[in-house]
Amino acid sequence: MRAPNPTTPGVTSEVGRLRTVLLHRPGAELRRLTPRNNDELLFDGVPWVARAQEEHDAFAAALTDRGVEVLHLDRLLAEVMAVPAARAEVIAAAVDDPRLGATLQHATTAHLDGLAPEDLATALIAGVANDELRGGRGLAYELMGRGDFVVPPLPNLMFTRDSSVWVGGQVAVTSLAMPARDRESALTAALYTHHPRFAGVEQLYGPHLEHLEGGDVLLLSPGVVAVGVGERTTPGGAERLARRVFARGLAHTVLVVPIAQQRATMHLDTVATMVDVDAMVMYPAIADRLQAWTVTAGDASPDTAELSVQGPQPFLIAAAQAMRIDRLRVIDTGLDPVTAEREQWDDGNNTLALAPRLAVAYERNTVTNAALEAAGIEVVAIAGSELGSGRGGPRCMSCPVLRDAVPA
């Protein structure tokens, strides 16, 4: 396997010491949520925005206090919006909406293109309402309500894990399944394509491909990638990723793991995350039922050849075999079924490892956190009462850009 240069971006595991991470501090886009639109925009309620920002600031501070460089998506995006090609790409994506019609598309393009870089970045994230559009015209415009969105907001952008994920020294800009989120990938693609911080980085995947989301991708160990298939990631997306990581020498094994197609288990990382090189925190209700198909490359070109697919077998067994360890240790989310279900819903499984045996978790999941501590995992507990209304924990809210390598 080709490992990334330690001075350049790259991630080969879930638990190598975290050096650089991409976050997005929630802002005006969260203020667009109302009881009328929160379901459509994938939130379970209307969060208290100021408190959500306080919680996110504390999360970022916990990372920087432990030596992690925090990159802020909105700041990088504002810098990129000074690049004409990047502006054109994200504006085109913002108006590529059949609701608008040609006249309103042209008017919206003119409005966005007239904004300064920082204002354009804000508009792309927070959205543009009918009454905020300069020069609005056309039939679709006239028939819209005053507060209807010409460009919808992106309140889920704070879950930076989903729209991009690093595998080795390459970044997969993902293809998001839900209509409320599909434009997020256009913004992350612009960052990775045009920001000098990522000059020369190869993109492993793209938003035009089969649905694949970063929350479903776990780097179990160098060369071993697990991909959840369920509500957000399709089998076609898992296969496409497998072919590409094999072709580029980024992995030797991909485990494809079906999960229930429901909101409580929308991604693989809502039921399991790595906290040590050989340990995982997992929702106990699925620990013994989770299955995996083991996918490896055939002898011919991975782009065209039949892949080798074996299984299914229990996920924990398949994972240990692929990782070449005796067993994968499991730490349960909750000690009884009711507590386990509550803490899984509250993102008890969705931890972010800062290093082996050091993980960030929501403070409210007291039983899971106690189990982690008893297993030798130091827990950095953060508040998340408002951040969690979008159904995402510390791992969801972070896209690692650089981690130290761990021993094979």
- The residue assigned the tokens 């399709």 is 234
- The residue assigned the tokens 């006249």 is 103
Q: Is 399 a catalytic residue?
A: no
How far apart CA 355 and CA 346 sit, in angstroms, is 23
Please list the residues that pair with 272 across neighbouring strands: 282
Start-to-end CA distance of the chain, whole Å, equals 11
The residue among 162, 291, 147 whose CA lies nearest residue 216 is 162
Find the catalytic residue in 107, 396, 397, 401.
396
How far apart CA 297 and CA 277 sit, in angstroms, is 24
The residue among 272, 250, 268 whose CA lies nearest residue 353 is 272
Q: Is 355 within 8 Å of 380 (Cβ atoms)?
A: no
User: Which residues are within 8 A (CB) of 19 and not within 5 positions of it... i.e. 6 or more apart?
Assistant: 67, 68, 69, 401, 402, 403, 404
What is the chain's alpha carbon radius of gyration, rounded to the nearest angstrom? 21
How far apart CA 131 and CA 153 sit, in angstroms, is 15
Q: Is 49 within 8 Å of 21 (Cβ atoms)?
A: no
Coil, strand or helix at 349 = coil
How far apart CA 72 and CA 209 sit, in angstroms, is 26
- Helix 84-95 with 117-126: angle, nearest 10 deg: 30
Calculate ∠ Cα 252-6-171, nearest 5°.
55
- The residue assigned the tokens 């790409």 is 89
Q: Is 224 within 8 Å of 252 (Cβ atoms)?
A: yes
Q: Is 28 within 8 Å of 39 (Cβ atoms)?
A: no
How far apart CA 312 and CA 54 sit, in angstroms, is 44
Residue 383, classified by CB atoms within 10 Å of its CB into exposed (0-12), middle (13-18) or buried (19+), is middle
How far apart CA 391 and CA 363 sit, in angstroms, is 15
Q: Is 120 within 8 Å of 112 (Cβ atoms)?
A: yes
- Residues marked active site are found at 396
